Amino acid sequence: MNYTYRPKKFNFVKSLTWSHINEQMLMGMHEGKNDVTLLYGETTGRYSDYKGLLLNILMQMNREPEGWNFMHIYHSRVNEGVTTGRHNDETDVMIVQAVGKMMYRFDDGSEVIMNPSDALYIPVGMYHEPVIIGPRITLSFCTMTNEKELKEIYNFYKGCKSGFMTRDGYAAVPVAGRKSLIVVYNGVQLKTCRNESSATNFIKKHRNQAKKGTVFIK
């Protein structure tokens, strides 16, 4: 199976700016070296968010037929930087360019240069090499559904400074610039809570109501 290049496929990602990346870094949700940062978010996970934009992007991608439910955000502010090099992935991947340009090389000698809103579908197992050609923000989407993958997400996020994720899919998402948290479940924002304690109590109540089969009123 070959890759598929889709120019101007997702125009809504062009709303993402460097301000959103800066906010993520202030929230402590980043890792990496040499000005290349990896940020995590998942519709059943936990992430810091800037005015809900990242959540909205992820929810829109989740509505695609593939059901993308996990998002990496890679960025570099200089013309050169460290990438993952030539590699393949254990799942199908959808690359979407948000800011700047990015190049991808393939073993058959072909290259794809991506502009903002362009999408590149790379099937599982296909080797590819990301090449930085300027300042850029690149989104990478995949689907994670098995217990091992969800456990890895849980273990990563539970060590972060603010907010939390539960194993059954609830998330308390930090609100930028505030101590409050938004409780999210299955990609739906349920309630804004003033702190982790109130978010925990709300989740317990919501979970119990769901088990009883009743409709939960916020």
* pTM: predicted TM-score of the whole model, two decimal places: 0.63
Query: Which candidate, 23, 21, 52, 34, places its Cα nearest to that of 137?
Result: 21
Six-digit token pair at 99? Answer: 């800011």
What is the per-residue pLDDT for 60?
A: 81
pLDDT, position 68: 85
Buried b (16+ CB within 10 A) or exposed e, 176-189: beeebbbbbbebee
Distant-in-sequence, close-in-space partners of 149: CB < 8 Å, separation ≥ 6: none
Mean pLDDT of the chain: 75
Of 135 and 174, which is predicted with more confidence? Answer: 135
> pLDDT tens-digit profile of 8-39?
999 989 988 887 776 665 454 444 443 333 34
How confident is the model over 144-191, as pLDDT tens digits? 665 555 555 555 445 445 667 676 767 777 665 567 777 876 556 688
B/e letters for 66-84, b = 16+ CB within 10 Å, e = fewer, are eebbbbbbbbbeeeebebe
Phi (first) and psi of residue 133, to 5 degrees: -120, 5
Report residue 97's pLDDT band, with 50, 70 and 90 as the boundaries. very high
The enclosing H or E element of 6 equals: strand 4-6
**What percent of the chain shows pLDDT beyond 90?**
28
Starting at the earlier edge strand, list the strands of the sheet with 164-165.
164-165, 170-174, 181-185, 188-193
Q: What is the dihedral of CA 41, 43, 48, 53, to 10 degrees?
A: 100
Q: What is the DSSP letter of 144?
A: -
What pLDDT sits at residue 98?
Answer: 95
What confidence score (pLDDT) does residue 92 get? 94
Residue 100's pLDDT band (boundaries 50, 70, 90)? Answer: very high
pLDDT of 70? 79
The pLDDT tens digits of the residues spanning 42-58 come to 333 334 443 467 767 87
In 3D space, the residue among 126, 148, 165, 119 whose CA is nearest the CA of residue 4 turns out to be 119
